[in-house]
Structures are given as C-alpha cells and as structure tokens.
Amino acid sequence: MSTPHAARDIDTSRPHSARMYDYYLGGKDHFEIDRKAAETVAAVYPGIFVCARENRAFMHRATRVLATEHGIRQWLDIGTGIPTEPNLHQVAQTVVPDARVVYADNDPLVLKYAERLMRSTPQGRTTYIEADVNDPQALVNAPQLAEVLDLTKPVALSLNALMHFVTDAQDPYGIVSNLLDVLPSGSALALSHCTPDFDPDTWQKVTDIYNGAGTPVQFRSQKDVARFFDGLDLLEPGVTVGHRWRPEAAPEGTSRTESVTDAQVSLWTGVGIKP
C-alpha cells in the first residue's frame, strides 16, 4: 500500500544532488544541467560511479542484516533520492513481507516517481514525506509517518549518502541525535558518508564543484563519521569502507570487495544499534 501525494514544480535552474546521483547510477531521471554537473565531478573523480554503486550495495546489505539478524520491521529512509529498483522497501520486504518503510526527501522529482516505484507488499506499507533533514522535528511529526510507523517499536534510521550535504554550521550531529531520540531501544542507524581520506586533493575539487553549483557539502574523515554513532552499539566491522561492510551478506556472486579500491569507493559506512 502506498500513499498518494500532489507534485509541485521542479526546479531545473540548477543541478540537484538527487538527480546527479541518478546519473551516477546510470538512470534517466535527471536533466541536462544535472548531467553536466555530474560529468564535471566524474572528470576529476572517475570513481564516483563506483562510489554510487557501492553505496546502494551497502544499503541493500545493511537492510538485509537488520531484518534477518536484528528483527527490524520498520525503516525511516531520509534522503531517499530518485527511486531505483530494488529500493529499500523491496529489499526489506523480500526478507520480511510485513516491513513498513517511510521515505523522505525534499526534491519534487523524487515525489514524481515515488508513486510508480514504491509499491508495497499487501502485508507491509510504504509512504513518502516531502521533508528536509534539517528540520527533524517537522519530519518526525509528519502525520504520514505516524500512519505507517509505530515509534514504540524499533525503527532503522537510514541515512545513505545524505549527511555530507549537511555542513557543520547546520549541526549534523545534533540532527542525527534528535532523530534517534524519538526512536526506542533496539532501533538502528545505518549511515554512509563520502570521505576525502583516501584522496584529499580530488575530494577538494569535488567539494568545489558542488559548492559552486549551489549545493553545500562537507565530506568527513572516518573519525568524524564515527561520531554519528556515539552512544550506539556498532555492529562489526565498525565504520569501514562501503564495499568492506559485511560483503558476506551480499547475494552470491555480487561481492566486489576485491575488484574495487578504497579510493574509488571513498565512502565510510556503519550500522549501530540503540541500547
């Protein structure tokens, strides 16, 4: 079951990170201005395509692990991006058909395609909230969220490739803490975050491109990414490069641990459980 929404005008005057990400994944739901900005990034960092692919692969593995090993049946996925199958609810509902998922993003293009791709199993439910992670209170108080998620039971907070779009001036750690505060014990945080640790010069160029396009970014070190998990029980192997997080949880034949480098991926990932 999915919930209908009304679309609003799409701003094509400047590139949008969700549409650029769609380009990195080989999608078609972007505009020329997004393609040009994404190609500018790829010119200085060809690994961006690997990074995007491994980010989605991490999301798939983390979702399966939380469903199968930790009994999670509810997800709040913020910064969803343009739906790309299989999306989070499809992965979760393959394991647990009654899984419930709330997606949130602030791009109307995401909303445009949400109805087409976010089709739940009869046992489960999905919905979409047009919301901004910078206003966590409004997000968690959205009536659509209360209709789908039971906040007295564990929820997995999924923040994939999102928090590097929240600069320190916007209080990223406070935002994540506020979101986790409303979730009960047994809930989880699954997070991925781009990093300059393996190639600082290249990632400074990427930063300049995004900032110049009107999308502020702040890519962080492993130490700074680990701070998002303060107070949580980190699952093994801790905060690690995306393709190295539980590769054994990938479907047979799909692990690329040996075929890509840490510098290509340049993505710290981790999953923590709220005590």
Residue 205 has pLDDT above 80, yes or no: yes
Mean pLDDT value across residues 10-14: 74
Q: What is the DSSP letter of 98?
A: T
Residue 266 has pLDDT above 80, yes or no: yes
Pick the residue with more confidence: 186 or 15?
A: 186
- 40, 119 Cβ separation under 8 angstroms: no
Kindly report whether the peptide bond that precedes residue 86 is cis, defined as omega within 30 degrees of 0: yes
Percentage of the chain beyond pLDDT 70 is: 92
Q: Which residue has the tokens 């199993």?
A: 121
CA distance 170 to 172: 6
Mean pLDDT value across residues 175-182: 97
Cα 259 to chain centroid distance, Å, stands at: 23
Pick the residue with more confidence: 179 or 4?
A: 179
List the single range of 12-16, 45-49, 101-105, 151-155 with lowest mean pLDDT.
12-16
Residue 252: what pLDDT? 47
Mean pLDDT value across residues 84-91: 90
Residue 198 has pLDDT above 90, yes or no: yes
Residue 2 has pLDDT above 60, yes or no: no
Residue 174 has pLDDT above 60, yes or no: yes
CA distance 28 to 145: 29
Mean pLDDT value across residues 166-189: 97
CA distance 256 to 131: 34
Residue 3: what pLDDT? 42
Residue 112 has pLDDT above 70, yes or no: yes
Residue 147: what pLDDT? 95
Average pLDDT, the chain: 91
In the chain, count of helices (H) and strands (E)? 11, 8
Residue 35 has pLDDT above 60, yes or no: yes
Mean pLDDT value across residues 222-240: 98
Residue 1 has pLDDT above 60, yes or no: no
Please list the residues that pair with 101 across neighbouring strands: 75, 126
| pLDDT tens column, 65-86 | 999 999 999 999 999 888 888 9
Q: What is the DSSP letter of 49?
A: H
Residue 257: what pLDDT? 53
Residue 211 has pLDDT above 60, yes or no: yes
